């Protein structure tokens, strides 16, 4: 209690200081205005200053009568607008408070203010004189009997049943991909990681919106991505709303079973239905064959040779999935430039590397035997060339002699 009293005194002091500061500020403003204004008004003249209708400080003419009249106009307008609104608001609030008070008093009186055996004075006064028993104004509510209590309990039980029924119809939302549809129902698939389910919903009374289009009932296009709001009644799934943004996708199980893959390689063979590419690296090369009968082919035109279309020696990127052991291509892209296959490039790189190593070994060794072998090889090649030339010359001479004899 002492702490509360001290707090109240402290706050009282704070408010008193704030009020004094406000009064002091207003007083200082007034003092400043009068201290600077009175000498000027004496010089102009109070009569001329208050009754003058022209305000031209540059010409030393000071009359504030229009300003005074304007302030009066503004004040009168505020009174005309504000006073009726304020009075009507006060009356409305007063009547509202009175009605609330009377309502509260009536409730209090009805709940036990007067007993059934003791009529109020007002009720006794209002009763007719020829009536033997005065009619009370209000009587206390009779206590419920056992049967009534049981009835109330049954009613409460019934309400609980209704509440349970309403809880059963609580709206639940689910996302999935449409797999089947007719005029009154849709079936969607949902799930992940190999655990997939399909559920059929009654859409006969559902609000359906696909993109910007609203409709009533099905059927709907397959593979739509849908969000369905529904409740369960008697084991049936009743849809109340079906929404889709218009996008389509494969079902979760299809994506799980036929997961999209990508690869790249050099085309070694192709026709209208299949394509075989060579892929791999570092000496580990293998071929892959794709079914391209339903694939999108995006083959750019070779600007050098002006050739387009899928063909051998193209480097391609492939998006595909595997179904029943067959690589099904969905998209094939190439910039249109032809290359060597990975194995050809690897072999050329290996030969170039070997030649560089041999040259380096020759330059670094300086071995006479190695040089002699090179010279012997060169001499043998020269002798072979000389022998071949002599043979050709002898053959020509024999041919020429035979020609002369025939002549």
Which residue would you say has higher pLDDT here, 38 or 161? 38
CA dihedral (273, 275, 276, 278) in degrees, to 10, reads -170
* Each residue's pLDDT tens digit, 211-258: 888 877 778 888 899 999 999 988 899 999 999 998 888 888 887 777
- 192, containing H or E segment: strand 185-192
- Which pair of structure tokens corresponds to residue 232? 């369960």
Residue found under tokens 């419920």: 144
For residue 173, list its beta bridge partners: 229
Beta pairing class for 326-334 and 296-299: parallel
Give the CB-side neighbour count of residue 353, counting CA atoms within 13 A: 6
- Phi, psi (deg, nearest 5) at residue 114: -135, 135
Residues forming a β-bridge with 332: 297, 318
| pLDDT of 118 | 42
CA distance 105 to 242: 53
Q: Are 153 and 143 in contact (CB under 8 A)?
A: no
Torsion of CA 339, 344, 345, 349, to 10 degrees: -150
pLDDT at 106 over 70: no
Q: Which of helix, strand or coil describes residue 356?
A: helix
- Provide the β-strand partners of residue 243: 209, 227
* Residues 359/370, Cβ–Cβ less than 8 Å: no
pLDDT of 149 above 60: no
- pLDDT, one tens digit per residue, over 111-127 is 444 443 344 443 333 33
Mark residue 113 as left, alpha or beta (left: phi above 0; alpha: psi -120 to 50; beta: remaining): alpha
62, β-bridge pairs: 55
Non-local CB neighbours of 215 within 8 Å, separated by 6+ positions: 208, 209
- What is the per-residue pLDDT across 346-397, written as a single tens digit (0 to 9) for each? 888 888 888 888 888 777 775 545 555 555 666 666 666 667 666 766 676 6
Stronger pLDDT, 239 or 144, i.e. the higher one? 239
Q: What mean pLDDT comes out for the span 33-42?
A: 85
The pair of structure tokens assigned to 244 is 């889709």
* Tokens encoding 337: 């430039």
Least confident of 56-70, 142-156, 200-214, 370-384: 142-156
> Is 60 exceeded by the pLDDT of residue 129?
no
Q: All domains of the chain, ordered by start, with CATH?
A: 171-254 (2.40.50), 258-345 (2.40.50.320)
pLDDT in tens, 262-289: 899 999 989 989 999 999 888 889 899 9
Given a contact cutoff of 8 angstroms between Cβ atoms, the answer to whether 152 and 144 are in contact is yes
Say what the pLDDT of residue 393 is: 65
| Sign of the dihedral through C-alpha 245, 246, 248, 253 | positive
Burial 168-193 (b: 16+ CB within 10 A, else e): eeeeeebebbbbebeeebbebbbeee
The percent of residues above 70 in pLDDT, for the chain, comes to: 71
- pLDDT higher than 80, residue 197: yes
Q: What is the pLDDT of residues 280-317, one digit of tens each?
A: 888 889 899 999 988 888 988 876 666 678 888 889 99
Q: Output the pLDDT for position 382.
A: 67
42 vs 279: which has the higher pLDDT:
279
Whether 313 and 266 have beta carbons less than 8 Å apart is answered as yes
Q: What is the pLDDT of residue 239?
A: 93
Number of residues that this document lists for the chain: 407
């Amino acid at each position: 209690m002492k702490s509360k009293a001290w707090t109240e005194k402290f706050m009282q002091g704070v408010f008193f200081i704030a009020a004094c500061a406000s009064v002091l500020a207003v007083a200082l403003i007034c003092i400043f205005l009068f201290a600077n204004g009175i000498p000027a008004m004496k010089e102009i003249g109070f009569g001329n200053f208050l009754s003058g209708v022209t305000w031209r400080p540059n010409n030393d003419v000071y009359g504030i009568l229009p300003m005074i009249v304007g302030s009066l106009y503004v004040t009168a307008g505020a009174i005309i607008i504000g006073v009726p609104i304020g009075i009507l608001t006060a009356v409305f609030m007063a009547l509202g408070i009175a009605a609330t008070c009377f309502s509260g008093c009536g409730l209090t009186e009805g709940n036990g203010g007067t007993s059934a055996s003791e009529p109020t004075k007002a009720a006794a006064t209002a009763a007719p004189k020829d009536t033997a028993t005065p009619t009370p104004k209000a009587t206390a509510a009779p206590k419920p009997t056992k049967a009534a209590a049981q009835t109330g309990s049954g009613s409460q039980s019934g309400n609980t049943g209704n509440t349970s029924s309403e809880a059963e119809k609580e709206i639940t939302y689910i996302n999935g991909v449409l797999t089947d549809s007719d005029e009154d129902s849709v079936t969607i698939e949902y799930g992940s990681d190999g655990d997939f389910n399909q559920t059929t919903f009654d859409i006969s009374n559902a609000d359906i919106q696909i993109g910007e289009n609203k409709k009533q009932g099905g059927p709907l296009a397959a593979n739509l991505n849908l969000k369905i709001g529904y409740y369960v009644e008697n084991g049936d799934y009743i849809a109340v709303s079906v929404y889709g943004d218009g996008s389509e996708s494969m079902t979760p199980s299809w994506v799980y079973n036929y997961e999209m893959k990508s690869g790249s390689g050099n085309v070694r063979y192709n026709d209208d239905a299949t394509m075989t590419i060579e892929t791999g690296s570092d000496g580990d090369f293998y071929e892959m064959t794709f079914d391209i009968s339903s694939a999108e082919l995006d083959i750019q035109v070779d600007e050098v040779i002006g050739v387009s279309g899928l063909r051998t020696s193209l480097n391609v990127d492939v998006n595909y999935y595997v179904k029943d052991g067959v690589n099904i291509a969905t998209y094939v892209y190439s910039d249109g430039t032809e290359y060597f296959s990975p194995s050809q490039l690897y072999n050329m790189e290996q030969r170039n590397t070997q030649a560089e190593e041999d040259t380096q070994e020759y330059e670094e060794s300086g071995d006479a035997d190695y040089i002699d072998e090179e010279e012997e090889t060169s001499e043998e090649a020269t002798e072979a060339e000389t022998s071949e030339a002599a043979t050709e010359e002898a053959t020509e001479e024999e041919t020429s002699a035979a020609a002369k004899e025939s002549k």
